[in-house]
Amino acid sequence: MRRVKGLVFLAVLAMMVFGLVAVGSAATFSDAGNYAEPVSALNALKIVDGYPDGTIKPDQPITRAEFAKVVVMELGLNADIAPATTQFSDVDSTHWAGGMINVAVGQGIIKGYPDGTFRPDANVTYAEAITMLVRMLGYAPSIDESTWPAGYLAKAATTGVADGVRVKADEAATRGDVFRMAYNALDADVMLQTGWGTEIVFEESKDFEDTILYDKLDVDRVGDEDDTVRIIATPRVSKNLDKDQVEVDPVKNNSDYDADVLDIIANANFDVNNYLGYEAECWLNDDDEVIFIKSHTSANDIVKGVVDGWDGSKLEMANGKKYDFADEVYAYMNGAEVANPKAFVTRTVDGDDYTVPTWLGRNCTIILDEGEIAFIEAIKGESLIVESVDVDDETIKYYFKSDSKATLDLSDNDDYVVVRDGVNATLADIEEGDIIRTVPNIKEGADEDDVKYIQVSSQKVEGTVEEVGSESSEVSDYYLVIDGEKYSLAGDVFENDYYLPATVTITTDDNDTIDEVTINDLEDLLGEDVTLSIFAGTVRHIMSGKDSDSEDDLYMVLPQGNTEFNSFEGLRFKFVNKNGDNVTYYATDDTEFYEDGDINEYDTDSEKQIVENTYVDNDWIVRITLDNNGDLDEFEAVVKMDGDTKALVADDDSDRLKIDGKWYALDDNVALFEKSGDDFDDASWKSMQDTENLGEGYAYVDTDNEVKAIVVLEQISSDADRGIVTAKSKTKDGYKLTLLVNGESVTYETDGDSVVKGKSYVGDNEGSTKTTSSVAYINKGDVVSFELNASDEIDEITELEPYEDERWEVMDIDSKGKILTLSPNVDEETNEAIEVTVVVSDDSDPDDASYYFDFENTTQAPKAIDFGDISEGDIVQVFMFEDGDDNEGQVQFIKIVD
pLDDT at 826 (0 to 100): 54
Question: Please, which pLDDT band fits residue 508 given cuts at 50, 70 and 90?
Answer: confident
Q: Are 251 and 230 in contact (CB under 8 A)?
A: yes
Question: HSE (CB half, 13 Å, CA atoms) of 847?
Answer: 8
pLDDT in tens, 839-867: 888 777 777 888 889 888 776 778 888 88
pLDDT of 825 above 80: no
Q: Which of 673, 689, 713 is the last residue of a domain?
A: 713
Rounded distance, CA 324 to CA 330, Å?
14
pLDDT digits (tens, 9 = 90+) for 591-607: 999 988 789 888 888 88
Please indicate, yes or no, whether residues 565 and 692 belong to a single structural domain of this protein: no
Q: How far apart are CA 668 and CA 665, in angstroms?
A: 9
Among 339, 371, 373, 372, which residue's Cα sits nearest to residue 358? 339
Q: Residue 688: what pLDDT?
A: 55
Co-location of 54 and 182 in the same domain: yes
On average, the pLDDT of the chain sits at 81
Mean pLDDT of 617-644: 89
Task: Report residue 18's pLDDT band, with 50, 70 and 90 as the boundaries.
Answer: very low
> Residue 282 has what pLDDT?
95
Res 568 pLDDT > 80 = no
Cα 404 to its chain centre, rounded Å, is: 35
**Alpha-carbon gap, residue 97 to 316, rounded angstroms:** 59
Write down the pLDDT at residue 772.
40
| pLDDT value of position 537 | 76
What torsion, rounded to 10 degrees, do the Cα atoms 866, 871, 875, 876 define?
30
Whether residues 772 and 700 fall in one domain: no
Of 185-189, 328-332, 491-495, 515-519, which range is least confident? Answer: 491-495
In which band, very low, low, confident or very high, does the pLDDT at 536 lie, cut at 50, 70 and 90?
confident
Nearest to 237 by CA among 442, 382, 448, 446: 442
Cα angle 883, 888, 894 (rounded to 5 degrees) comes to 105
Kindly tell me the burial class for residue 689, based on how many C-beta atoms sit within 10 Å of its own C-beta (0-12, 13-18, 19 or more). Answer: middle
Please tell me what DSSP assigns to residue 124. Answer: P
| Arithmetic mean of pLDDT, 11-40 | 55
Tell me which of 345, 378, 411 is where a domain ends.
378
**pLDDT score for 582:** 83
7 belongs to a structural domain:
no
Span 5-20, average pLDDT: 29
The residues facing 356 across adjacent strands are 345
Same domain assignment for residues 342 and 253: no
Q: Give ∠ CA 494-496-500 in degrees, rounded to 5.
A: 30
Question: Given 254, 271, 295, which residue is the final one in a domain?
Answer: 295
Distance CA 418, CA 425 (A): 5
Q: What is the pLDDT of residue 15?
A: 29
Q: How sure is the predictor about 349, in pLDDT bands with cuts at 50, 70 and 90? A: low
Task: Count Cα atoms within 13 angstroms, Cβ side, for 485.
Answer: 11
In a domain, 45, yes or no: yes
Residue type, 1: M
Sign of the C-alpha dihedral computed for residues 665, 669, 674 and 678 taken in this order: negative
Residue 138 pLDDT greater than 90, yes or no: yes
> What was the pLDDT predicted at 187?
95
Give the number of other Cβ atoms within 10 Å of residue 793's Cβ.
18
- Reply yes or no on whether the pLDDT at 17 is more than 50: no
Whether the CB-CB separation of 547 and 759 falls below 8 Å is answered with: no
5 within some domain: no
Indicate if 594 and 632 belong to the same structural domain.
yes
pLDDT one-digit tens code per residue, 288-325:
999 999 999 998 899 887 787 777 778 888 667 889 99
Q: How many residues does the chain have?
A: 898
Q: What is the pLDDT of residue 435?
A: 92
Residue 887 has pLDDT above 90, yes or no: no
pLDDT at 754: 45
Q: Are residues 245 and 307 in the same domain?
A: no
Facing residues of 727 across strands?
A: 738
Which residues is 385 bridged to in the sheet?
A: 399, 435
Cα distances (Å, whole numbers) of residue 227 to 11, 186, 294, 724: 38, 18, 13, 50
pLDDT-derived band at 348 (thresholds 50, 70, 90) equals low
Pair (195, 57) in one structural domain: yes
Confidence check: pLDDT of 139 > 90: yes
Quickly count: other Cβ atoms within 10 Å of residue 478's Cβ: 24
pLDDT on residue 180: 96
Q: Is the pLDDT of residue 690 over 50?
A: yes
Q: Are 193 and 166 in contact (CB under 8 A)?
A: no
Q: CA 405, 411, 417, 421 torsion: positive or negative?
A: positive
> What integer pLDDT is reported at residue 14 of this predicted model?
29
User: 201 to each of 114, 131, 249, how far by Cα in Å?
Assistant: 28, 21, 41
- Region 729-745 average pLDDT: 77
* Residue 158 within any structural domain of the chain: yes
Contact 794, 737 (CB under 8 A): yes
- Strand 662-676 vs strand 706-713: parallel, antiparallel, or unpaired? parallel
The upper half-sphere exposure of residue 578, i.e. CA atoms within 13 Å in the direction of its Cβ, equals 21
- Classified as helix, coil or strand, 775 is helix
pLDDT, position 161? 95
What φ, ψ does residue 202 adopt, rounded to 5°? -120, 135
The fraction of the chain above a pLDDT of 70, given in percent, is: 83
pLDDT above 90 covers a percentage of the chain that reads 30
Bigger pLDDT: 815 vs 774: 815
Whether residue 279 contacts residue 252, with contact meaning beta carbons closer than 8 Å, is answered with no
Is 856 in the same domain as 879? yes
pLDDT at 137 exceeding the cut of 50: yes
Q: Which domain holds residue 264?
A: 219-295
Q: Assess whether 42 and 161 both reside in one domain.
A: yes
Burial letters for 395-417: b for 16+ Cβ neighbours within 10 Å, e otherwise? Answer: bbbbbbeebeeeebebeebeebb
Are residues 807 and 855 in contact, defined by beta-carbon separation less than 8 angstroms? no
* Claim to verify: residue 663 and residue 695 sit in the same structural domain: yes
Task: Return the sign of the alpha-carbon dihedral for residues 47, 50, 52, 58.
Answer: positive
Distance in angstroms (rounded) separating the CA atoms of residues 72 and 81: 10
| Model pLDDT, residue 828 | 54
**C-alpha torsion angle, residues 663, 666, 667, 671 (rounded to 10):** 120
Higher pLDDT pick, 74 / 414: 74
Residue 550 has a pLDDT of 41
Secondary structure in 3-state letters for 799-829: ECCCHHHCCEEEEEEECCCCEEEEECCECCC
Same domain, 750 and 617: no
Same domain, 859 and 810: yes
The residues with which 852 forms a beta bridge, in sequence order, are: 865, 894
Contact 291, 44 (CB under 8 A): yes
Main-chain phi, psi angles of 79, to 5 degrees? -70, -25
The domain that holds 636 is classified in CATH as: 2.40.50
Number of domains in the chain: 9
In a domain, 23, yes or no: no
Could you say which DSSP state residue 214 is in? Answer: I
- Does some domain include residue 15? no
Cβ contact 439:451 at 8 Å: yes
Residue 213 lies in a domain: no
Give 695 or 83, the one with higher predicted confidence.
695
Tens digits of residue pLDDT in 229-275: 999 999 878 878 888 899 999 988 878 888 899 999 988 888 888 89
First CA to last CA distance, the chain: 67
Is the model's pLDDT at 112 over the cut of 80?
yes
Q: Which residues have C-beta within 8 Å of that of residue 892, sequence separation ≥ 6?
A: 722, 841, 850, 851, 879, 880, 881, 885
Question: Which pLDDT belongs to residue 287?
Answer: 93
Tell me the C-alpha distance between 318 and 474, whole Å.
Answer: 14
Q: Please, are residues 521 and 508 in contact by the beta-carbon 8 Å criterion? A: no
494 belongs to a structural domain: no
Q: How far is CA 444 from CA 83, 651, 753, 788, in A?
A: 57, 74, 50, 61
User: Tens digit of pLDDT for each residue in 357-398?
Assistant: 788 777 788 999 999 999 999 876 678 999 999 999 999 999
What's the whole-number mean pLDDT along residues 181-196? 94
